[in-house]
Amino acid sequence: MQTRTMPTKTNFSVLGYANNELPIFEEKNGRNYVTYGKDDHYGEYLRDLFLTSSTHNAIVNGVAEMIHGEGIDANDRDENDGKREAWLRFNELMADSEDDLLRKISLDIKLYGMTYINVIWNRGRTRIKTMKHLPVHQMRSGMVNSDGDVELFYHKTDWSKRNAPMTGIKAFDLEDRTEASQVLLIKRYTPAYHYYALPDYVGSTNYIELDREIGQFHVNNIQNGLFPSMLLSFKNGIPTDEERRQIEQKVLNKFSGAENAGRILITFNDGDETAPDFTTISSNDADGMFQYLSGEVSVKILTGHRVTSPLLFGIRGDGSGFGNNADELRDSYSLFHNTVVQPFQSILLEGLQPVFDVNDIDLDFSFIPLKPADFLGISVDSEVDTGEVERSYTGIQISSALEIVAKVTTKELTKEQGMSLLITMLGFTQESAAQMFEEKSELAEFSKDETPGGVADELIAMGEDEDDDYELIDVREVDYKLEDQYDAAWAFARPIIPEGSRPTSGKSEQDTPLIKVRYKYAPDDVQDNTREFCRKMIQAGRVYRKEDIMAASGRAVNAGWGPRGASTYDIWLYKGGGYCRHFWQRHTYLRKNNKQISVKEAERIIRAAGPQEPRMERNDPKVAKRPRDMDNAGFLPSNPKPPLK
């Protein structure tokens, strides 16, 4: 049901819309539909305001883009097999539906306060097969039945033509599925209006109309003006009508219009008595009046749209508000998104929910936010103890940043090139970009005790039990190929640490104000031949800073099992030594009751950083595997491999 019609301009001042009159939606005798405003043209009126007012157009387009964002995502789509299948069904539905459907209904809900969707059932009437957009100004509501429900909607390409064909389409009904093609109406609540909704900017339509008229006045003034308000009088007799027309046309052609500004006027006369008179008509300070009106109109339109900063939409304000454009964009976007954009997104998601329910799509949907272009993904969230402002980054920024970090790790890019890309392309600050590549070097101090049990006891003493202030959000075997990427995923939440104040015992360089990363010795498998170091580590059941594990590698755990018979080796890589059954688990914790990030959002960031369920065979042979699964059972080639016990 796709139709295309050229917009036609209507004199809505005659209809009364420009006089701040609210539209009247009436049930009229002889009509089976409800009129949409005076003369049934309110939709066209809103459409034409959108097309002809530059300020209004910029705001509506901007808000529509913010509502749409980067599309719809589901926070729980990877939670289990059922959720993953529901996510697949959602993507199939959207793939079969009209292109840019979400973008179109996002524009409609802002421009008209409502949107119509043509939902089409499959042959068995068990699922919604596809969805199509219906232009609001082409739709009319039927009258309610005895239960107060609208059963039919009507479609016509041009309601100004009485003889144009009109099609009745059944309203979306889960009980009555006899008609394959139905109409779903999604609208914002408007007090005292049942059939149609009003846009949220309805209180400023007078000023939007005035904005259009001011622009039209100036255009006409330039196109038709002969100098500013000038009277030209000829004194050489009264010509005939045809002569008057020719003289007037020649003067207008030569001197009117913007392209003729500044031309010299030359006259030839017999004397002063026959010379033409040029009389300037006073403008009564018209320039000041229009300057005032332009400013007043802009303020009223912005107020009607609840705009917190005109810079969000590329409109230069009067200098009031925040003193710095960057600060203004960050603070204003956060406020505007929460108070204006999110309510529109909720209306759309709630309106689409019946369609999702029919298709067994039970997911926690949300729109992926779209941030201002100059500060994509950056917003002020809160103040931390250091007094520095924290910055948060979108999943797209984080995943892109991780790719850059990975290329630096594999030497495809230099660190300087990576830094430059993070700053110039992804909007990272200098400090955040540097932290993405920050090396961890702080190690704990161990005693000279070289017995296996002694090293375990000291490491266990530095370990931690579960912290009630944090929630465990991810557990996975350590994979050194991804360790830096998982660390980098939380760089956005790391405050700037003053030089000379690196973390001490109890804190890790991997920690942020929101995230804590620890490692656990796993699995909980103790056998008769389990080494003393492993036995103690498993029985302790504690978690450890990476710095402490690295520092423990400097002490002897199993004497003679190191390189060329040395007493020490890398516990971080080889755990309890050759044939060891154990590995390190990475535990990621999120601070409870924080106001910056939810558990689901944190889990989504982790998914973006690497595989959801890394397999052992994908891990680095020296890191993610148990030593007994490594080449030579975890023994160096220079060391003899004893028989397996």
Q: Copy the structure tokens of residue 135.
A: 């232009």
456 and 586 part of one domain: yes
Residue burial 82-106, b: 16+ Cβ < 10 Å; e: rest: ebeebbebbeebbeebbeebbebbb
Task: Scan for tokens 């808000």, then name that residue.
Answer: 63
For residue 593, pLDDT beyond 90? no
The whole-angstrom separation of Cα 375 and Cα 380 is: 11
For residue 317, pLDDT beyond 60? no
Cα–chain-centroid distance for residue 292? 36
- Cβ-based neighbours of 216, under 8 Å, separated by 6 or more: none
- Whether 2 is in a domain gets the answer no
Q: Kindly state the DSSP code that residue 142 receives in the 8-state scheme.
A: B
Cα–chain-centroid distance for residue 12? 36
The whole-angstrom separation of Cα 126 and Cα 610 is: 38
Q: How far is CA 604 from CA 239, 363, 398, 571, in A?
A: 83, 15, 11, 31
491 and 411 part of one domain: yes
Please compute the mean of the pLDDT values over residues 242-256 and round it to a whole number.
77
The whole-angstrom separation of Cα 137 and Cα 113 is: 12
Decide: residue 237, CB within 10 A, 0-12 exposed, 13-18 middle, 19+ buried: exposed
- Which domain covers residue 41, as residue numbers? 17-224+285-358
- Whether 570 is in a domain gets the answer yes
Residues 154, 168: contact at Cβ < 8 Å? yes
Looking at 328, 358, 388, the residue that finishes a domain is: 358
Q: Kindly state the DSSP code that residue 3 receives in the 8-state scheme.
A: -
Q: Is 286 helix (H, G, I), strand (E, B) or coil?
A: helix
- Whether 123 is in a domain gets the answer yes
Please compute the mean of the pLDDT values over residues 453-475 and round it to a whole number.
83
For residue 54, pLDDT beyond 50? yes
Number of domains, the chain:
3
434 and 313 part of one domain: no
- Cβ-based neighbours of 483, under 8 Å, separated by 6 or more: 586
Q: What is the pLDDT of residues 192-216, one digit of tens each?
A: 788 899 999 988 888 888 888 777 7
- Helix, strand, coil % (nearest 5) of the chain? 40, 15, 45
In this structure, the number of other CB atoms found within 10 A of the CB of residue 138 comes to 18
237 and 209 part of one domain: no
Looking at 307, 332, 358, the residue that finishes a domain is: 358
Q: Copy the structure tokens of residue 40.
A: 């049934």
Which pLDDT belongs to residue 253? 74
Q: What is the mean pLDDT of the chain?
A: 74
Looking at 331, 358, 385, the residue that finishes a domain is: 358
For residue 448, pLDDT beyond 60? no
Q: Copy the structure tokens of residue 607.
A: 């998914």
For residue 228, pLDDT beyond 60? no
- Whether 515 is in a domain gets the answer yes
The whole-angstrom separation of Cα 122 and Cα 139 is: 24
- Cβ-based neighbours of 187, under 8 Å, separated by 6 or more: 109, 113, 114, 115, 196, 197, 347, 351
For residue 404, pLDDT beyond 90? no
* Least confident span in 108-122, 262-276, 599-613: 262-276
486 and 587 part of one domain: yes
Q: Kindly state the DSSP code that residue 29 receives in the 8-state scheme.
A: T
R_g of the chain computed on alpha carbons: 36
SS (H, E, C) 522-540: ECCCCCCCCCHHHHHHHHH
Q: How many C-alpha atoms does 473 have within 13 Å on its Cβ side?
A: 23
Please compute the mean of the pLDDT values over residues 265-270 and round it to a whole number.
68
Residue burial 581-598, b: 16+ Cβ < 10 Å; e: rest: bbbbbbbbbbbeebebbe
In this structure, the number of other CB atoms found within 10 A of the CB of residue 492 comes to 27
216 and 307 part of one domain: yes
Which pLDDT belongs to residue 223? 62
Give the β-pairing of 167-171 and 181-187.
Answer: parallel
Please compute the mean of the pLDDT values over residues 150-165 and round it to a whole number.
89
170 and 245 part of one domain: no
Return the bridge partners of 365, or none: 74
Q: Is 383 helix (H, G, I), strand (E, B) or coil?
A: strand
For residue 505, pLDDT beyond 90? no
Closest CA to 515 of 544, 549, 489: 489
220 and 236 part of one domain: no
Q: List alpha helices for 359-449, DSSP H.
A: 395-409, 415-424, 430-436
439 and 311 part of one domain: no
- Cβ-based neighbours of 538, under 8 Å, separated by 6 or more: 521, 524, 525, 526, 530, 582
For residue 340, pLDDT beyond 80? yes
- Whether 368 is in a domain gets the answer no
Q: List alpha helices for 541-613, DSSP H.
A: 546-552, 571-574, 599-609
Q: Is 406 helix (H, G, I), strand (E, B) or coil?
A: helix
304 and 439 part of one domain: no
64 and 203 part of one domain: yes
Task: Scan for tokens 């009106």, then name that residue.
Answer: 293
Residues 370, 70: contact at Cβ < 8 Å? yes
The whole-angstrom separation of Cα 577 and Cα 528 is: 16
Which pLDDT belongs to residue 201? 92
192 and 48 part of one domain: yes
Q: What is the pLDDT of residues 344-396, one digit of tens each?
A: 999 999 999 999 999 999 999 999 886 554 333 333 333 333 333 344 454 44
The dihedrals phi and psi of 378, each to the nearest 5 degrees, come to -110, 130
Q: How many C-alpha atoms does 457 have within 13 Å on its Cβ side?
A: 8
For residue 598, pLDDT beyond 60? yes
* Least confident span in 18-32, 56-70, 533-547: 18-32
The whole-angstrom separation of Cα 308 and Cα 329 is: 9
Q: Kindly state the DSSP code that residue 75 receives in the 8-state scheme.
A: T
- Whether 91 is in a domain gets the answer yes
- Whether 133 is in a domain gets the answer yes
Q: How far is CA 216 from CA 49, 54, 222, 296, 501, in A?
A: 13, 12, 10, 17, 64
Which pLDDT belongs to residue 2? 39
- Whether 297 is in a domain gets the answer yes
Q: Copy the structure tokens of residue 164.
A: 């144009």
Range with top average pLDDT, 221-225, 227-231, 249-253, 473-477: 473-477
Residues 239, 322: contact at Cβ < 8 Å? no
H/E run at residue 591? strand 583-591
For residue 443, pLDDT beyond 50? no
Q: Is 595 helix (H, G, I), strand (E, B) or coil?
A: coil
In this structure, the number of other CB atoms found within 10 A of the CB of residue 362 comes to 15
